[in-house]
């Protein structure tokens, strides 16, 4: 087995927009903890290069372009390159909207992609004989934001990678997977930060000097830090954060778990590595039939207009609907406000789904890497906890579902979430792009890759 790891600090200018919260006003004024791009190359029969960016999101076209660029620069196959965003809500605006519109991104985005390529090249150059092993711990920093007793995956999956030979016992890299939103910090924060994963990475560095800490976001779509409450459309100010002290405390909890798990991992010099991918055609909300979809959108638009007190016969633009929703629903009874906001968001969801997905029936990339007996499945969306637990069921310890790998198609709820009571009030449903059956079809595609 061989492995290489590298990291590059992002030199982000102050005064540029941040990404993650619609309620945020103002631009970046400070840096609390530095953001990075990191890369981990694993070779063992097959190979995979995981490139992690400490940013909120990348659109699918952005991730695909970066994947192609890194594959060309390193000589790896496209199937062997994974692009993953950590989803910190205290990172820079990355030009997602511009990318989906076919426009040029803001000027500060190109250096981020340059750094990602440089980290990938450096990881490849640093490759050396290595040993690696998986271990599993648990952390209780997350809670289901939809239901007080809702699904949460408390596992922290840890991959320890050591140099073989003279440096035995000194990790080159420690990768960890956990499914909790990096949103301890809220919309009032204007300082760059990797959020709780950054604090976890600091704890890993403390325990293993010189190791590259690599956070990979698990199935987190309906799991927030425990510093937040249940999410409710009718309540304002829910994206206010808990501050840096709480962020450091929660991150250290996870970091302690990672360090302990890394300490008991059994390392192998011949851990088999096998990376594969497949493209799965799926329908967006409204289906692939253009005429039927347009009729459904007209009905959604009329319902949203009535919810906002507008003439349903007049065309309604997404920008106008979003600009009016707070004003036109303020002061209403909470139940009435939830219902009206849901009508607006259902219209926005379905109107924008085709642009986000790149068509009415997009081919969605599914990526799988086998790490010995364990299987990591990477999906380009924010998977909910139930979906991650469904993937792990019956699989070897160390298996995991990774979110926001290869871009972002918004949320990916388990089909049961669309059938839940008042599902149309739930943010994850209102921020999804693909038809309800899509999530399980993607898991099936992952299982087929695993069995091939």
pLDDT in tens, 312-337: 999 999 999 999 999 999 999 999 99
What is the residue-wise DSSP string for 87-115?
--TTEE---HHHHHTTPPPPTTHHHHHHH
Query: Domain locations in the chain?
Result: 2-278+363-451, 290-357
DSSP bridge partners of 36: 9
Instruction: State how far the alpha carbon of 283 is from the alpha carbons of 222, 357, 387, in Å.
Output: 22, 9, 19
User: Which of the four pLDDT bands, split at 50, 70 and 90, describes residue 168?
Assistant: low
In angstroms, rounded to a whole number, what is the distance separating the alpha carbons of residues 55 and 94?
8
**Looking at residue 251, what is its pLDDT?**
98
Band (236; pLDDT cuts 50, 70, 90): confident
Q: 124-142 pLDDT, tens per residue?
A: 999 999 999 999 999 999 9
Q: Which two tokens stand for residue 221?
A: 């779509």
pLDDT at 296 over 80: yes
pLDDT of residue 47 exceeding 90, the answer is yes
Expressed in percent and rounded to 5, the helix, strand and coil fractions of the chain are 35, 25, 40
- Specify whether the CB–CB gap between 286 and 293 falls below 8 A: yes
Strands 411-412 and 382-383: parallel
pLDDT value of position 166: 62
Whether 167 has a pLDDT exceeding 60, the answer reads no
pLDDT of 444 over the 70 cut: yes
Predicted pLDDT at 450: 97
Residue 8 confidence (pLDDT) above 80: yes
Q: Which residues pair with 130 in a beta bridge?
A: 163
Residue 46 and residue 175 in contact, taking contact as beta carbons nearer than 8 Å: no
Q: State the pTM of this model.
A: 0.97
| Least trusted range by pLDDT, from 16-30, 54-68, 156-170, 261-275 | 156-170
Residue 321 CA to residue 406 CA, distance in Å, equals 30
Q: Is the pLDDT of residue 232 over 60?
A: yes
Other Cβ atoms less than 10 A from the Cβ of 296: the count is: 15
- CB contact at 8 A, 403 and 429: no
- C-beta separation of 332 from 340 below 8 A: yes
Q: What mean pLDDT do residues 248-266 have?
A: 98
- The more confident residue out of 188 and 166 is 188
Residue 267 carries which DSSP code? P
Alpha helices in 80-195 (DSSP H): 96-100, 109-125
Q: What is the mean pLDDT of residues 365-372?
A: 98
The 10 Å CB-count burial string (b at 16+, else e) for 174-185 is: bbbbbbbbbbbb
CB atoms within 10 A of CB 211: 20
């Amino acid at each position: 087995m061989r492995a290489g790891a590298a990291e590059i600090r992002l030199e982000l200018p102050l005064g540029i927009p941040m990404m993650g919260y619609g309620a945020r006003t103002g631009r970046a004024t400070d840096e609390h903890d530095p953001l990075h791009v990191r890369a981990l190359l694993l070779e063992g029969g097959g190979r995979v290069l995981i490139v992690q960016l400490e940013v909120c999101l990348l659109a699918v076209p952005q991730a695909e372009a970066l994947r192609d660029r890194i594959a060309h620069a390193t000589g790896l196959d496209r199937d062997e390159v994974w692009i993953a965003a950590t989803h910190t809500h205290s990172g820079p605006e990355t030009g997602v909207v511009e990318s989906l519109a076919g426009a040029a991104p803001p000027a500060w985005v190109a250096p981020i992609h340059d750094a990602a390529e440089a980290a990938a090249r450096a990881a490849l150059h640093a490759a050396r004989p290595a040993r690696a092993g998986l271990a599993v711990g648990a952390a209780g920093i997350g809670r289901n934001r939809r239901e007080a007793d809702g699904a949460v995956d408390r596992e922290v999956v840890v991959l320890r990678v050591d140099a073989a030979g003279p440096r035995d016992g000194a990790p080159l890299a420690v990768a960890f997977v956990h499914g909790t939103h990096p949103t301890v910090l809220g919309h009032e924060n204007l300082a760059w930060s990797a959020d709780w994963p950054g604090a976890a990475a600091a704890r890993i560095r403390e325990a293993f000097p010189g190791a590259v800490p690599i956070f990979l976001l698990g199935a987190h779509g309906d799991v927030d830090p425990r510093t937040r409450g249940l999410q409710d459309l009718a309540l304002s100010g829910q994206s206010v954060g808990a501050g840096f002290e709480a962020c450091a405390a929660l991150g250290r909890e996870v970091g302690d778990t990672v360090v302990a798990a890394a300490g008991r991992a059994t390392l192998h010099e011949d851990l088999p590595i096998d990376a594969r991918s497949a493209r799965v055609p799926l329908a967006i909300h409204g289906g692939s039939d253009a005429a039927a979809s347009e009729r459904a959108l007209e009905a959604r638009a009329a319902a949203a207009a009535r919810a906002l007190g507008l003439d349903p016969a007049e065309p309604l633009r997404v920008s106008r609907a979003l600009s009016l929703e707070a004003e036109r629903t303020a002061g209403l009874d909470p139940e009435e406000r939830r219902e009206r906001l849901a009508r607006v968001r259902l219209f926005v969801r379905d109107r924008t789904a085709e642009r986000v997905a790149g068509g009415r029936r997009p081919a969605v990339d599914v990526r799988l890497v086998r790490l010995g007996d364990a299987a990591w499945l990477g999906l380009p969306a924010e998977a909910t906890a139930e979906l991650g637990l469904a993937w792990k069921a019956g699989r070897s310890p160390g298996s995991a579902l990774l979110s926001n790998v290869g871009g972002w198609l918004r949320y990916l709820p388990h089909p049961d979430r669309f059938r839940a009571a008042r599902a149309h009030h739930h943010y994850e449903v209102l921020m999804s792009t693909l038809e309800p059956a899509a999530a399980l079809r993607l898991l099936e595609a992952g299982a087929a890759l695993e069995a091939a």
